[in-house]
Each structure stands twice: as C-alpha cells, then as structure tokens.
Amino acid sequence: MASSLPLILPKPRPRPRVLLQSIPGHEDTTTGPAMSELDGCLTTDEAQAWIDAAEHLGFSPQGSGGAAAGEAFRDHSRLLVRDPSAARQLWVRTGLRALFLSGGAGGGPILVDGRQPLGLSGNLRLYRYAGGGKERFGKHVDGADEDAEVEVQEEGAGAVVATRRGVTGYTVLFYLSGGGPAAGGGQQQQQQQREVVPRASQRLVGGETKFWDHRRRLVASVAPVAGRCLVHLHGYDRCLEHEAAAVESGCKYVLRSDVVFGPAPEEAAKGAAVAEARGGGGKRQQQQGGRRRR
C-alpha cells in the first residue's frame, strides 16, 4: 500500500560525523560507530511537509508518572504512525541504507551482534516540543524491540518482496525544525516580518539531545537542525542515558524510527527452508511465540 505521508527525493550517501565510536564502559559488539550525526538527509521543504502532515493527523499530549513511578519525566506531544512504506522510503532515499550497508569496518555493513541491517521499522513516532522552557523528555535509555517488523525490497526495485522480523539496534532521529537564522535587525529581520517563516526553518533555542556516559559525564550534545539525522545505539545493555532538553523558544519537531537487524537474506532463506523441511514445526512455534509476546 502506498504511503499517504510526504514523498522525499533521493539523496546521495551522507557524510556522517562520528560523535562517539564506542560506548564507554561497554563491550563493543558492533562494527560501526556508536553515534553519528548526518546533515542534509531531508531538505527544509521536506521537513516542513512532514510537520504539516503530522499537524494534520494530530498530536496527543504525552506525559509520565515521573520519578515517583520510576519513569523519566515527559512533557511533550506525540503522534504514532504505522507506515512501513514511508519507513522504507526514508531508509532508501535519505542515504541511511547506503550508510548502514557500507559504513562498517572495512567498508562492510554495520552489524549489531552479528546481525545485518534490514531497514527502518514502520513504527514511526513524531514528537513536538513547544517553547517556553517546560516541554522536555528527561534522562532515559531507549530499549530494543526484539520483534520488530520491517519491509524489505529487492535491490534496485520498488516492489516489496518480503516482510521480515528482527531486533532494533539503532535509534534514528530526523530533526524537522531548527537551525534557522538568528534573530537580528536590518534587512533580514524586515524580510521575516513580511513573510510567514515555515516552522521547519524558524529559529529554535534549546531542544538539544544530550548524552551522558556511565560516569555521568556529558559526552555529546546534538542541536536540532531541520534535515539533520542522529543515529545512536540503543538497547538497555548499550544505550547511553540521554535527554531531550527543554525548548526555550520556537517549536521542535522530531521524527523517530529504529534500524532493524536480522539474518542476511540468504541465511533467512536457508532457515525458512529448514523449517519447511521439518514440516513447518519451527514456523508454528515462532507464530505461537509471537502471540505470547503480544
């Protein structure tokens, strides 16, 4: 089924800035950087189109029980969208697929615990943080989804050939707003007064994504810029504690998904053949296990 979310144009492979090569205090079980920042994954117009689509669909308030309930503080708005087609488009056209298939050691794929990158999860989340210094997401870690679904397409073809399941290993954040011109006088300010500035390009103060290591030291702070993408390892055993800082002015919009990892296609095909040869017992067991998880 075609996506009703905005279309984006293909981008060349992005040039990542590695912010963290490995997670301090953790055993390295990946072949790629722990955290990278990539600019230009979306144009300002594309980011604005995502904002407009999200506002049309409608956000809902998102809170938490806070420290008393053992939860991270949350005060922002959220929209959940299940759209594997849009996720596949983001994976291919932003350059993420090229990065994960050739950004690992020796120019090979980025592996997590020996698993291959399959694509972006179709479980898309859009976040909105209004200005005023109150809306934020306190310190937390991102857990892995061990039964994530992803649509996989044949190389160079548009048709989906399989729906695969796997384990998520990286958080992917597309910043949809921020990085606009600083406030000031003169001709630039007069021009902005005459025109309605799109939210994607408006000046944003605050809203950085900040990371701390196991010794509670700040190791990275990523400013929201429209079109920028942040990828970082996740899972309770390897994700750094991080927060979305309060937005002082402007409005921060973020699109989140996760990279799904699993066996290489040929390995998955062999596994399916073995299960079939055994009378489908393995398949039935897997389906029953899926029902228990849900």
User: Which pLDDT score is estimated for 207?
Assistant: 96
The closest of 179, 262, 263, 181 to 222, measured between CA atoms, is: 179
Per-residue pLDDT tens for 266-276?
Answer: 555 554 444 45
Residue 259 in tokens? 């990279």
Task: Look up residue 106 and give its two tokens.
Answer: 């020796």
| Distance separating alpha carbons of residues 171 and 280, to the nearest angstrom | 34
Q: What mean pLDDT is predicted for residues 136-142?
A: 91
User: What pLDDT band is residue 67 in, cutting at 50, 70 and 90?
Assistant: low
> Does residue 161 register a pLDDT over 50?
yes
For the segment 206-213, the average pLDDT, to the nearest whole number, is 96
188-223 in b/e form (b: 16+ CB < 10 A) is eeeebeeeeebbbbbbbbbbbbbbebeeeeebbebb
d(CA 161, CA 153): 5
- Condensed to tens digits (0 to 9), the pLDDT of residues 252-265 reads 999 999 999 998 75
Interatomic CA distance for residues 109 and 124, integer angstroms = 24
The answer to whether 10 touches 201, Cβ cutoff 8 Å, is no
- Which ranges in 44-198 belong to alpha helices (H)? 44-57, 84-93, 96-102, 186-194
Q: Name which CATH class applies to 17-182+189-262.
A: mainly beta
Q: Which residues are registered as beta bridge partners of 233?
A: 170
d(CA 249, CA 159): 43
Orientation of helix 281-293 relative to helix 265-277, angle to 10°: 110
CA 96 to CA 82: how far, in whole Å?
20
- Report the mean per-residue pLDDT for the chain: 83
pLDDT over threshold 90, residue 191: no
Judge whether residue 292 has pLDDT over 90: no
List for the chain the helix, strand, coil content (%; round to 5): 25, 35, 40
Domain ranges for the chain, please list them.
Answer: 17-182+189-262, 266-294
CA distance 180 to 205: 10
Residue 114 structure tokens: 């020996």
CA–CA distance, 280 with 195 (Å, rounded to integer): 63
pLDDT value, residue 264: 73
Q: What is the pLDDT of residue 144?
A: 95
Instruction: Tell whether pTM > 0.75.
Output: yes
CA distances from 21 to 174, 177, 185 (A): 20, 27, 41
Write out the H or E segment, with its range, that includes residue 220: strand 218-222
Interatomic CA distance for residues 48 and 17, integer angstroms:
24
Instruction: List the end-to-end C-alpha distance of the chain, in Å, as a whole number.
Output: 24
Q: Rounded mean pLDDT of 206-235?
A: 96
